[in-house]
Chain A
Amino acid sequence: MKNHKSNLMNYITGYILSILATLAAFIIAKESLVSGWILVYVILSIAILQLVVQAVFFLHLSEEDGPKLNLTTFYFMIMVVSILVVGSLWIMKNLDYNMMPEQQNQHMLDQYNEGGF
């Protein structure tokens, strides 16, 4: 267990870094410094950076004793979340590309009426 003073320093550092990241992202978006997909990547990268900052300085994920169970579950969740989000977007984009939503609707009703699902 670290002492209280360094704990306080942790929170202050985390707070300042978070504010800087928030403002950076805000300015980039507000002033349209970049655009298109690059904007999406930049903003999301800053958000992930801030996630790391808060995980280290606020949640103290890096200073666990013994087997690092918290960190392991955290990594596991990151994996699950990535698979879910990336997979869903990929699948849905692909479906939209091959069929318009109205067609999908009709397709599902057809399958039902044929005695499918």
Chain B
Amino acid sequence: MFGRLGFDDLPTELITIGGALSMVGGLIAVTAGLIYFKKLGWLWRNWLTSLDHKKIGVMYIAIAVIMLLRGAGDAVMMRAQQALASGDSTGILSSDTFQQVFSAHGTIMIFFVAMGLMFGLINLVLPLQLGARDVAFPFLNSLSFWLFASGFVLINASLVIGEFSAAGWLAYPPLSGLEYSPGVGVDYWIWALQISGLGSLLSGINFLVTILKMRAPGMKLMDMPIFAWTVLGSMMLVIAVFPILTVTLSLLALDRLMGMNFFTSTLGGNPMMYINLIWAWGHPEVYILVLPAFGIFSEIVPVFSKKKLFGYTSMVWAIMSITVLSFIVWLHHFFTMGGGAKVNAFFGIMTMVISIPTGVKVFNWLFTMFRGKITYSSPMIWFLGFIATFTIGGMTGVLMAVPAIDFQVHNSLFLVAHFHNMIIGGVVFGYMAGLTYWFPKFTGFKLHEGLGKLAAWLWINGFIVAFGPLYILGLMGATRRIDHYDASLGWQWLFIIAGIGVLIIGAGIATQILQLGYSIWKRKELRDSTNGDPWDGRTLEWSTTAPPPHYNFAVIPEVKGQDSLWTSKQAKTTTKQSTTYNDIEMPKNTDAGIKLSAFAFLIGFGLVWHIWWLALIGLFGVIIQTILHLTKDDHEYTISAKDIKLHEQHRLKGTSL
């Protein structure tokens, strides 16, 4: 009846029990709170079923933050283990739990934190920057979010029921095959990623069409803000490579569920094909994440330097060449796995070539700052941290692009330090800067500046302390998945320093939470007095009020050239608002996305535990719900011009209706 599921699948180890209890406890507390304050209906109507891209963006970020806390908790556990488990001491985690924590950390940070923050920020900002009222397909957007949420629930369910994968964040076979991983851990990994990956693919299509079809009248592609360009590059990569991930995960699942032989070691299967395919997705994935971060910095640097971005056209070319080049470097993730000299040389050279457009971008930012009137607000602090760490990461990356060197440092902590340099220094700092920069747009008040700067400095310094030692350890021969080592190696003090670094980053995260709470408490003092343009911005999102009305723009702006808001501010024409309003059609709220994703969850959960009837219910649910939704006719409602006029009068005065 319940497949493999039984009572002995509840957690037994102290640390996993703690994790499970905090997860379940948190859920109960939040639900009880919502019921007590009678907010459940409000939450459902105003948030969960909403198709407003701004609300969907906020929900993405909320999930990403929850997962950031879990992923950071994993990081603390791993570093604590490594700092303690020298010689006779075995540390705090059993070896198997360590492998699960290790796998969970990577999976969560990439798929749920970085992707969540990215789609959250794109959702919030992109339509506003393009002068659009919503994304191209609002319902699809909600569906994407809920699929992401469904994957989020599934991966967290593994904490309470069963176990998580111990096969690393990319689950290489034969280790992830049935022979070596017979439990449910790898299945949780597969289906959580499969469901949320489907959401990412749909988002990719959605934002691509939004950029190509929904720009405000007059905005040519070469007039778009650089952030929109980076999103375009990133979404091109999403639609090109997420299908590869879908297939790769499916093949692994077929091996495990139906006894197929794609990646098994018997009957002709070839595990190297998995490695090939997963990196054909995995390498572009890194650029999917980092390109929007580049875009964020390209928005922030000009605004805080009070100068036009240096080299707009070269920036666009750099973005597009990175987009294309990132397809042809994937082999560098497995130089050491038997490739010949020709193949390795080709992919090594391509990897080095990709650093050229990236270098162009760094110089463009620096030249933008050169002779600018720079304000060192907290987004700029994040930018400085980014430039320093990202350049170091880039250099170690070029170093490892040389196959001969890679043979020395592969699978070592040197590699771990390198990619954290790119992902924390590049992606995370970028998104943090973006969150700080755009926060007042959506709330009407700024985040507390002092705490923001403190958090940025804690992150940057914590990062150096945490990952500097890993470079050294890697060169000394410490492997990436090490959970115990001999005392005579003399590595312990380096691991202890790295652990202290993680604690400093933790303090940075705590400061950010404090900053958010404090800023909400003091929101009156931190109020944005400009009603929507606190940084003296250059792009269209700053031309509407803060927070923007749900239709974004009462009158769709006409665009002439780049930085059109800045140009019109210089010409002092913005105050002249057009007062003729037209009816606006907006999408109605719908719960179809939630229902579809709930069915998708049932499919995933059923397949993890081999509860076939549950998976079938989910499948039929998905089919029927899709047909019902697609054949329904009225998805829109109209806001009359009169209502908009009324709303606008109040809004522009800053009073509520």
Contacts and interface: CB of A to CB of B under 8 A. Distances in A.
Interface of A: 69, 76-77, 79-80, 83-84, 87-88, 90-92, 94-95, 97-99, 101-102, 104-105, 107-109, 111-112, 114-117
B340 interface: yes
Contacts of A101: 265, 268-272
A9 B271 CA distance: 50
Interface in B471-494: 479-483
Interface stretch (B273-281, B305-313, B505-513): B273-281
A114 B480 CA distance: 10
Interface of B: 168, 170, 172-175, 212-213, 236, 240-241, 244, 265, 268-273, 276-277, 280, 324, 327-328, 330-331, 337-340, 342-343, 410-411, 479-483
Given A108-B337, A115-B480, 12 more contacts: A80-B241, A80-B327, A84-B244, A84-B327, A87-B328, A87-B330, A91-B331, A94-B339, A97-B340, A107-B338, A114-B479, A117-B480
A81 to B, nearest CB: 9
Contacts, number: 92
B460 to A, nearest CB: 29
B271 A105 contact: yes
Contacts of B328: 83, 87
A71 B237 CA distance: 18
7 contacts: A69-B212, A83-B327, A88-B273, A94-B338, A97-B340, A101-B271, A108-B172
A115 B265 contact: no
Given A108-B175, A111-B411, A80 B479 contact: no
A62 B457 CA distance: 55
B270 A92 contact: yes
Nearest to B333: A117
A105 B331 CA distance: 18
- The winner among A77, A95, A104 for most chain B CB atoms within 10 A is A95
Contacts of B170: 117
Contacts of A97: 340
Contact of A95 (B172, B272, B327, B342): B272
A94 B411 CA distance: 22
Contacts of A114: 411, 479
Nearest to A111: B411
A87 B332 CA distance: 13
A92 B276 contact: yes
Contact of A76 (B168, B240, B244, B340): B240
Contact of B343 (A69, A76, A94): A94
A104 B336 CA distance: 11
Nearest to B330: A87
A41 B492 CA distance: 60
A101 B266 CA distance: 9
A98 B174 CA distance: 19
- The winner among B241, B340, B480 for most chain A CB atoms within 10 A is B340
A92 B240 contact: no
A28 B648 CA distance: 71
A99 B410 CA distance: 19
Contact of A92 (B273, B481, B483): B273
A109 B175 contact: yes
Given A95-B338, A102-B265, A116-B411, A84 B280 contact: yes
Contacts of A76: 236, 240
Nearest to A81: B240
B280 A87 contact: yes
Given A114-B411, A115-B479, A116-B480, A88 B280 contact: yes
B337 A104 contact: yes
B276 A117 contact: no
User: Which 6 residue pairs are nearest across A and B when measured between Cβ atoms?
Assistant: A116-B411, A115-B479, A99-B338, A105-B265, A98-B338, A80-B240
A95 B480 contact: no
A97 B337 CA distance: 12
B481 A98 contact: no
A91 B331 CA distance: 8
Contacts of B277: 88
Contacts of B280: 84, 87-88
B103 to A, nearest CB: 10
B342 A92 contact: no
A98 B339 contact: yes
B174 A115 contact: no
Contacts of A116: 410-411, 479-481
A77 B172 CA distance: 27
A107 B236 CA distance: 35
